[in-house]
Amino acid sequence: MPRKRNSRLLRLAARPVCAALLFSLVGTTTLSQAAITDTPTQVQARVTSSEAKTKNPIVLVHGLFGFDNVLGIDYFYRIPESLAGAGAKVYVAQVSGANSSEIRGEQLIQELKNLRALSGNPSLKFNLVGHSQGAPTARYVAAVEPGLVASVTSVGGANGGSKVADLLRKIPEGSATEAVVAETLRLAMLLLGAISGKDPSELPEVPLNALNSLTTAGGAAFDRKFPQGRPAPGSSCDVKSGPAEVNGVRYYSWSGVQPLTNALDASDVAMGGLSLVAFGSETNDGLLAVCSTRLGTHLGDYRQNHLDEVNQLFGLTYIGLWTLFEKKPVQLYQEQAARLKSAGL
């Protein structure tokens, strides 16, 4: 299916496999770094139905280490095209791959305002769908600019932080090791950004900001400032849903709960290893404990790991007889779009 894109479009694509090692970034920058002037264009595909034709455009928001298109690999693998083919107007946001959720949120706000201006509709809203750090990024936008947002959907969202980030944060602050790791990751992100058309002056990469946002302490601090849609602090893991609607914004979430899903998928090795080291017997997707991902209306837990949630790697997700009864990632996104359409969103 053909796609028309602008090299500076609001999109990103990445190999979330890097996310397995990712969370080792973050320093200090100001929100003034977030201002950008991207002119987004939508993902296009041959339309075969109207099942996903939502009232408001869908904007997919990538997580940590997200970028545009690198060597034909998209972060949300084959998901934008499937939604566009089912009638949705779809954009893929492009924000810093490694920075705080607040700075990424400010970047996303500017991109949404650009889209609104281009549409000629001063009251246009958006359905934000965020994976991993894309979830708190979208939550930030909904909290500070609710007039821009119709709904927020968290997919394996880093809403309560990650114990993997906690492990990485044990590297002594200010140490030579921390400096080397942070600079290595920053340079890697700059390289990936250059390949995918990012402008580092508009979308700065500050790995230590990202790490601090993604620790459990960082997640708790974010929740105190922006609690919309989250279960009450201290809630049992049995509480799977938070407030369904706050300030006119609907909240939804689903999560992965199985680190190892496909022996043929090389990324499963990283997911399984991180699961053992960081979570022990706690239910998780390889990078996040399922209890930390809850937001708004709970839509289900699926036998997916953190990369399966965005149909990676290359659509090689889970296999086995039980998958005959398990929904595939692309189907989950299509069903959510249909749900948003039915809700008039």
Q: What is the mean pLDDT of residues 114-119?
A: 94
- Can you give the pLDDT at residue 266? 75
pLDDT, position 296: 98
Residue 342 appears among annotated catalytic residues: no
Does position 153 have pLDDT exceeding 90, yes or no? Answer: yes
Tell me the helix, strand and coil percentages in the chain, rounded to 5. 40, 10, 50
* Sequence-ordered list of residues with C-beta below 8 angstroms from that of 100, at least 6 positions apart, any chain: 26, 29, 206, 209, 210, 212, 213
Q: Which residues contact 203 (CB under 8 A, 6 or more apart)?
A: 36, 94, 95, 96, 97, 107, 193
Where are the alpha helices (H) located in the chain, listed in sequence order?
A: 19-22, 79-85, 101-119, 134-144, 163-168, 176-196, 207-214, 216-225, 267-278, 329-342
Q: What's the rounded mean pLDDT across residues 40-59? A: 89
Bridge-based pairing state of the strands 126-131 and 249-256:
unpaired
The pLDDT, as a whole number, for residue 199 is 61
Please confirm, yes or no, whether 306 is among the known catalytic residues. Answer: yes
Give dist(CA 295, CA 157) in Å, integer. 8
CB 152 within 8 A of CB 295: yes
- The residues near 173 (Cβ < 8 Å, ≥ 6 apart) are none
Task: Give the per-residue pLDDT at 34.
Answer: 40
Q: Which pLDDT score, from 0 to 100, does residue 271 have?
A: 87
Is pLDDT above 90 for 231?
Answer: yes
Residue partners of 89: CB distance under 8 A and separation at least 6? 42, 54, 57, 58
Over range 173-189, report the average pLDDT. Answer: 67
pLDDT at 11 over 60: no
CA atoms within 13 A on the CB side of 263: 1
For residues 337 and 320, what is the distance between their CA atoms, to the nearest angstrom?
27
For the question of residue 132 being annotated catalytic, the response is yes
Task: Select the more confidently predicted residue: 10 or 167.
Answer: 167
Among 82, 96, 132, 275, the one annotated catalytic: 132
| Catalytic one of 24, 285, 292, 298 | 285
The active-site residue, picked from 96, 213, 306, 308, is: 306
Q: Which amino acid is at 141?
A: V
Average pLDDT over residues 97-125: 94
**Average pLDDT over the chain, rounded to an integer:** 82
Q: Is the dihedral of CA 107, 109, 110, 116 positive or negative?
A: positive
| Contact criterion met (CB below 8 Å) for 178 and 171 | yes
Least confidently predicted of 123-137, 194-208, 285-299: 194-208
Q: Is the pTM of this model over 0.95?
A: no
d(CA 249, CA 109): 15
Over residues 182-187, the mean pLDDT reads 64
Judge whether residue 134 has pLDDT over 90.
Answer: yes
